[in-house]
Chain A
Amino acid sequence: MKGKKLMAMLMAGSLLLAGLTGCGGATAKGGDAAAGAADYPNGPVTIICPWGVGGGADVISRKISEVAKDYFDQPIVVENHTGASGTIGMMDAMDADADGYTMVLTNGPLFSLTPKYIDVSYDLSDFTMLRGMRQVSLMIFTNPQKSGMKTFDDLINYGKTHKITYATSSGPGGDQYVVSSAMFKSLGIEAEPVVMGSEAESINAVVSGQVDCGLGTPPAYYSHQEEGTIQAVATFYPETVQTPYGEVKSIKDWGVDVEFAGMDCLAVRSDVPQEIVDKLNAMLDDVYADSKFTGFMDEMGYPLWDAKGDEVTQFIEDQMDSMDKYVELIQ
């Protein structure tokens, strides 16, 4: 009996070994990877979202995949590869084959800021930008009901005599932290961030009066502004921003030389054949022209940023210069 069992165990081991040697060379990947640009697309296309499900950029890319059903022969699937400030998703996109079956959702700081803090194996030249998605104006907001601060001047005056605590959704190495630290530093105000897990939690921390002020982007805080528990007092965007609740002035108007315009965009690896890039761009043209997509963006309050690839690349290059400056300032 025992001999037989031992035999079986040996067989299990040798089978595994056979798997190791015999099948080691074969790849189980589908044939679509090898196919050329001519019959592209002949398999599902993935969008890697480097952030979690339910965030703004994730929701928009899912909407794109939904609308694209009418224009693209193959399904577009959003996969969330999260972690390490989004660099895991970016590096996964680099690891994928340059066959145009993998797009990646990205933003400026993933090139201009995060690589300063986390070792990454990519840079801007590794990606071809396809299209801008939305532009984001980062706002500073207070809670007039709890703190009595209604304007940016109120906040500055308060900061002259008190240490300010503010809610952000990113710590050192994150865009919100860097630009806000640079701002407080150039205003000569002592401020410490309370880092929340998400923007919704930052807003909630301000609404419930746990912190003096907070950072966030439209439209997430709109419904609180309607309640009067949130007041956007200034923005990092270089120009005055129009919101449904009046205009919000740029911090540049207070003489602060810090600016930040957030955006999300779609990209592919730069060694993807031009033919395929053109096909993807044609698909995006159709989606961006569809009222189902633009209507959704309007309804959600996301400002659509219909920038072509070169414009997006230029935008990121500009941001890289200013981020260098801010990081130096706060160190």
Chain B
Amino acid sequence: MLNNLMTGLALMASVESFIAIFIGLLAGIIIGAIPGLTADIAIILCLPITYSMEPIPAMLLLLGLYCGGTYGGSITAILINTPGTPSSAATVLDGYPLTQQGKPLKALTMALYASFFGGLFSALALLFAAPSIAHFTQMFGPPEYFCIAVFGLSIIASISNGNIIKGLLGGLIGIFIALMGQDSVSGTLRFTFGVRRLGGGIPLIVTLVGLFAIAELLSRADYNPRTDATRKQHLKLDHEKLSWEEIKRCLKTMTISSLIGTIVGAIPGTGGGIAAFISYDQAKKTSKYRDNFGHGEIEGVSATESANNATTGSTLIPLTTLGVPGDGCTAILLGAFMLQGMVPGPSMFKEHSDILYGIMIGLVVINILMLIIGRVFTPLYANITRIPYELMSAIIIVYCITGVYSSEASTFQVLLAVIIGAFSFLLRRLGFSVVPIILGVVLGDLVETNFRNSMVMSSNSLSIFVTRPFSLLFLALAALSIGMFFYKAAKDRKSKKQS
């Protein structure tokens, strides 16, 4: 082990590697922060650059994009209520309220520390525990995946701000959006209304840009630069820094969220978004400050951001040990590994162990450098909130569109994002929260595919979900999550009556 670490470190510690990491992180953070551009797109765009590079710098460049992008998504989530990437969708819940209270700096700093913490946790888990974690998640089959997805959906109860039916309806709409297009099991086209492009389904990024970015632009469309109150006061930016006390009280949340993120990330087919939601829900239920969640609670930011970055290392666990990518990004990294002449799978640790250790140590370095770069730039981008809204609107829309376009090189996706944006704007006006919708979108395919495959495995018997230990566990967690919601609602009603 020590031997491996030393050779890996020696291979990794080159000028090229550090340049690659630096460029990757910087580009990743910027791309991640721009709504419409995600780490996936960044990696696809940079893939051709890596063809002629050495394996370690090449992979570190891409991993820098991956980690930087996952962290960068939180910046716009906090500042303008628009998550830059799907992983940061849950960060808007508490991050944006903090900005509204004039504390963007505090939220951004917390997001950076939490991302660093989660990322490092995950990188170390990859370095030291990859085989055992892989062994653990390999026990999971379609029934377990289905139950995890159900557990994920049960979170709707705690994030739907009061009206649970509206939250539920939102979740169903989200799943419906995810199911449009080609069915991944039978290949049947569903709800494509004769539109060829819909046969490919609605890409997640298009939904995200429509639901959040465009709808946010629309919902401020009645903004008037001359009468805007915040403009007159020159939006007092609170320079209140994140205190050591606050970091200390979030430490427990960050550790648990990182653990959740690491495990969820190691399960193929999931990703940072789901991990962030589960951690948020968990933190909300156990925190001393649970009533402040959703109103700008720093602990909420720490939970989501540590969880989503904790998937960055662990999604590589099934990739390097089994050859199965942990999420969309790592599916692209799989191709990158192959172009470097390495086939991800069980033999990778044997055949390319020195390169692999170099890459894994590089991932640790990436997270440390991310903290440093973030420290330098956080005070800078906190000022984004000072940009007059009308100008911001005109600038952001361009990037939303280019991002959506570049994901499939198709103008149809742009139209689709606009339509979803208008629809989401209408829903907001009707008092919907869009967060349950994005949760449904993220989980929709997972729920359906694994339900159907479980039914095949059990010859159409639902008992398969309760006879396997882990699926039963996740179902129990889902039941607990919903049960706690109703218990709390009943208690609140009682206390209201008494007062």
Contacts and interface: CB of A to CB of B under 8 A. Distances in A.
Interface of A: 1, 52-55, 58-59, 62-63, 65-66, 77-85, 87-88, 91-92, 117-118, 163, 165, 170-174, 192-198, 200-201, 203-205, 207-208, 210-211, 219-220, 222-224, 226-227, 229, 296, 299-301
A200 B332 contact: no
B334 to A, nearest CB: 4
Given A53-B44, A197-B449, A300 B459 contact: no
Given A79-B409, A81-B408, A193-B456, A53 B186 contact: no
Contact of A207 (B181, B185, B322, B334): B322
A300 B47 contact: no
Contacts of B459: 163
B181 A84 contact: yes
Contacts of A211: 457
A195 B186 contact: yes
Interface size class of B (residues with CB under 8 A): 35 or more
B388 interface: no
B348 A223 contact: yes
8 contacts: A66-B52, A85-B182, A163-B459, A170-B187, A173-B186, A194-B142, A204-B324, A219-B343
Given A79-B409, A226-B347, 10 more contacts: A58-B335, A62-B48, A195-B185, A195-B449, A200-B325, A204-B318, A208-B139, A210-B141, A222-B345, A224-B346
A296 B339 CA distance: 8
Contacts of B183: 171
B184 A195 contact: yes
B268 interface: yes
Interface string B272-289: 000000000000000000
A173 B348 CA distance: 34
Interface string B440-458: 0000000001001100110
B196 interface: yes
A194 B331 contact: no
Nearest to A301: B343
Contacts of A196: 453
Nearest to B349: A223
A181 to B, nearest CB: 12
Nearest to B341: A299
Contacts of A204: 138, 268, 318, 322-324
Given A52-B331, A224-B346, A174 B187 contact: yes
B201 A197 contact: no
Contact of A224 (B182, B196, B345, B410): B345
A229 B341 CA distance: 23
Contacts of B184: 171, 195, 197
A192 B453 CA distance: 10
B200 interface: yes
Given A91-B196, A118-B199, A54 B323 contact: no
B128 interface: no
A322 B339 CA distance: 34
Contacts of B200: 82-84, 88
A223 B339 CA distance: 17
B197 interface: yes
Contacts of B226: 1
Interface in B307-325: 318, 322-325
Interface in B388-429: 408-410
A87 B268 contact: no
Nearest to B200: A83
A85 B318 CA distance: 26
A192 B452 CA distance: 12
Interface in B330-367: 331-336, 338-339, 341, 343, 345-348
Contacts of A65: 48
A171 B141 contact: no
Contacts of A52: 331
Interface of B: 44, 47-48, 51-52, 138-139, 141-142, 181-189, 196-197, 199-201, 226, 268-269, 318, 322-325, 331-336, 338-339, 341, 343, 345-348, 408-410, 449, 452-453, 456-457, 459
A234 B199 CA distance: 34
B345 A54 contact: no
Nearest to A76: B48
A107 B441 CA distance: 31
- Most B CB atoms within 10 A — which of A84, A117, A299? A84
Given A59-B338, A81-B410, A84-B199, A201 B141 contact: no
A174 B335 CA distance: 23
A200 B181 contact: no
Contacts of A227: 346-347
Contacts of B196: 84, 88, 91
Contact of A205 (B141, B332, B335): B141
Nearest to A85: B187
A53 B332 CA distance: 5
Nearest to B459: A163
A171 B338 contact: no
Given A172-B186, A197-B184, A204-B268, A88 B197 contact: yes
B472 to A, nearest CB: 17
A81 B410 CA distance: 9
Contacts of B187: 85, 117-118, 170-174
Nearest to A87: B199
Nearest to A82: B200
A117 B341 CA distance: 37
- Most A CB atoms within 10 A — which of B183, B197, B336, B453? B453
A81 B412 CA distance: 12
Contacts of B409: 79, 81
Given A171-B185, A226-B346, A83 B269 contact: no
B186 A200 contact: no
Nearest to A194: B453
A30 B188 CA distance: 38
Closest 5 CB pairs of A and B: A83-B200, A54-B335, A84-B199, A173-B187, A223-B347
- Most B CB atoms within 10 A — which of A66, A193, A196? A196
B324 A201 contact: yes
B139 A194 contact: no
Contact of A62 (B51, B138, B323, B343): B51
A201 B268 contact: yes
A195 B455 CA distance: 12
B356 to A, nearest CB: 13
A60 B262 CA distance: 32
Contacts of B323: 200, 203-204, 220, 223
A112 to B, nearest CB: 15
Contacts of B410: 81, 92
Nearest to B318: A204
A53 B331 contact: yes
A92 to B, nearest CB: 8
A62 B339 contact: yes
A82 B331 CA distance: 14
A223 B341 contact: no
B391 to A, nearest CB: 15
B338 A83 contact: no
Contacts of A66: 48, 51-52, 339
Contacts of B189: 84, 118
B339 to A, nearest CB: 6
A62 B453 contact: no
A54 B325 contact: yes
Contacts of B197: 83, 88
Nearest to B452: A195
